[in-house]
Amino acid sequence: MSSPAPRFESTVREELVQACNVLYAVKAAGDGLGGHLSARLDESRILIKPRPVSWRGLKPEDLVVIDFNGKLVAGAAGDRSAVREWPIHARTYAARPDVRCVLHAHPHASTLMAALRIAVEPLDQDCAAFAGKLPVLDNGAVSIATPELGDEVARALGTRGALLLKNHGSVVTGADIASVCVTAYRLEKVAETMLRAASLGRLPIMSPKAMATVLQARDSTDRSAIWHPLQRCFEAWRADTRGFDGEAGTRGDNLGRCGCLSARLHQFRPSGRRCRRGHGLYSGDPKHSLFRF
């Protein structure tokens, strides 16, 4: 009989791989190669995607375990296990006991938005969630490869869930893998909205008074009405760890009827970006959209 610890790590490996596939499919992983997604296994070990392995082709055995000093603990040594910017993850975990998952990637829209110094305005409800709450760190676009640079990232992030690295990429944190996926998707969606707005008119689009009115209205809204169904569906997804090829008629297939979020994320195939019923990630039908807020 296997012990709980190996079973836990095996489950986390499956979740990280599924999450990497989803992040790649929704264009939140940048070029599909650079960057890392990690999960805190305990207070001394981090399970992480190495840079040389693509987000799309990642397998559970490709993930490596490192300690909080960046030393390889488990996994094949060599070029394929390289994790150059491990301090982003280790120092964030050290500074934030509430964080269990960290994403560092180079998504196109949000990286460009930060490079152009475009501040998020509350143009819609997703933008309102980030307006005034998205710090930008300008450190000369250096590689975060030392503990000191990692500490700088952790300080700039503070208690927030996301940080932009000017001319570099982004950092997203969360209490679990599911929330990081949701935040990363929303962040890139917001950046695309702001870039589109910048191409159509002079920034800022909204007056300070209009921004304050919208943000006050959003702050008075019960945010659980937005986040609860997403989290519920992700929890259902996490409970089913059979991978991308679940059998028809199983629990995972039934979960595909969810209207607010496809809880069958494990069945989305990055190669075709479609589930087994043929629903694309952006099918145009709100009942079958991957994310609907």
For the segment 243-273, what is each residue's pLDDT rounded down to a tens digit? 333 333 233 333 233 333 333 343 333 333 3
Q: What are the structure tokens assigned to 134, written together?
A: 């998205």
Residues in the chain: 293
- Tokens matching residue 285: 């039908």
Amino acid identity, position 214: V
pLDDT in tens, 61-110: 899 999 999 988 886 666 656 788 999 999 999 999 999 999 999 999 99
Residue 242 or 12, more confident = 12
Packing angle of the helix pair 86-95, 147-157 (nearest 10 deg) = 50
Question: Which among 42, 46, 44, 23 has a CA at the least distance from the CA of 33?
Answer: 23
The one-letter amino acid at 164: L
What span, in angstroms and rounded, lies between the C-alpha atoms of 88 and 90?
A: 6
Which domains occur in the chain, in start order?
Answer: 4-210 (3.40.225.10), 222-293 (no CATH)
pLDDT at 48: 94
Closest by CA position to 290, among listed 184, 171, 169, 205? 184
